[in-house]
Structure 1
């Protein structure tokens, strides 16, 4: 059973008790277009509304999980029109009342990687690229990244990722001791599905109780981080060179 959502850039299907949400927008390169963000939220809500669902698995395209914000969105922010804290769709996985597993087989860049880090579990590819590239364009990180990166990757590595804004292959994250699961590229979908099945055997009510308990601190901590980050953005996004960098350098997200 498959339900089309948001102009078909996000698909929802089921594999037993696991709802599978697939972000597939080749034209928009899996960036945060309105179709992808609204489709993502709608798909997760539809998955939760179905009584058979016990876990939600989210995946992107085989070579690109998500590339984060669109150039137009970032230009708007640099021009003072909106900010990362005006719509926190990116916390949809943390707000989901059921466990969420991110199958991050393809590259996850900037906000796309932050999105994945809000899942309860994530499986990464050893060959794909992962980056917190905010500072590459001269503005400070957003979306709760200042809390998530040190928490999920370890303080030293997570802080380095935020400051350097460089690309890290999954294999390097594993070699540097990041406490995340990294497997061969072709093994990511199967590993993520095995993980999803392993957490979907309990009664739904118990799954919801445990998710609520574990997600509450994350939502509180990232909510506070997003507010602090928004204050930083009021300075960093106004720097003249930031708009110049966004306009000149917003090319291939995996270059």
Structure 2
């Protein structure tokens, strides 16, 4: 039984709809449940494609960097626990369509990029806002984001930390299809059904070829990101970045 992920079948499409109100913050347990559901889906020969969606106004507003142990970890290295589940998500074998509404920020952007495709509403916002927090990108984004939109545009997203509208990043390839707010899930399911009508063994083989080496590349990116995040998490700038976020103001950084 999943506490945070509802599972529904729509023909050969499996809908995974997660929730962690109010902002759908990513936690170790949430990512573990998503990864568990994807592994179950991989083992089901009736499922050919997956829709990953969420309840609420935000797809996923990232990790909770404010609350004590916001990652929901049990050990002394929360980031390592968090990223172990991210690797499992990237390692899933069947095509995934992410249905994105509201914020897909930080780890939420990383989760959306673990999917093969993204369907988004006009109100969706995408951000790799780590520099605004005095932090280093994570969730494998230093590999997955440029892989999808190219190095230059990824550099722009990383170094500005700005939020981008869905219609703007659709031209970059970050969003594959736009949908109305009340038609998002229907559009994502329709997209996944287009994939799922095809031969299942061919789908698996083709996707595996297109993603060859991806999991190893994500592991390598995560290892580097983890090291850099550990360096920065005890700096004055990171503490200021978190304060600035809670107070909804620009950070006053000093480079220490």
CA displacement, residues 221-244 of structure 1 (integer Å, 9 cap, x when unaligned): 222211222232232223122124
Number of aligned residues: 242
1:167 Cα offset (Å): 1.1
The one of 81, 84, 97 aligned to 2:79: 84
**CA gap 1:150/1:199 in 2 versus in 1, 3 angstroms:** same
Structure 2 gaps of 5+ residues are: 249-256
- TM-score, length-scaled by structure 1: 0.84
Output aligned runs, 1:50-61, within 5 Å.
Answer: 50-61=44-55
1:117 Cα offset (Å): 0.5
Q: Out of 111-120 and 47-56, give the one that drifted further.
A: 47-56
Structure 1 gaps of 5+ residues are: none
Is structure 2 residue 98 aligned with structure 1 residue 105? Answer: no
Partners of 2:40 and 2:85 in 1: CA distance: 15
Q: CA RMSD in A?
A: 2.5
1:55 Cα offset (Å): 0.8
Contact 2:130-2:161 at 8 Å conserved across structures: yes
Q: Out of 230-239 and 144-153, give the one that drifted further.
A: 230-239
Output aligned runs, 1:190-209, within 5 Å.
Answer: 190-209=186-205
- 1:235 aligned partner: 231
CA displacement, residues 173-228 of structure 1 (integer Å, 9 cap, x when unaligned): 23xx3123241333432322122111112333322222222222221222221122
- TM-score, length-scaled by structure 2: 0.84
Partners of 2:33 and 2:188 in 1: CA distance: 21
Relative to its length, the structure with more helix (as a share) is 1
The one of 6, 21, 46 aligned to 1:11: 6
Contact 1:128-1:185 at 8 Å conserved across structures: no
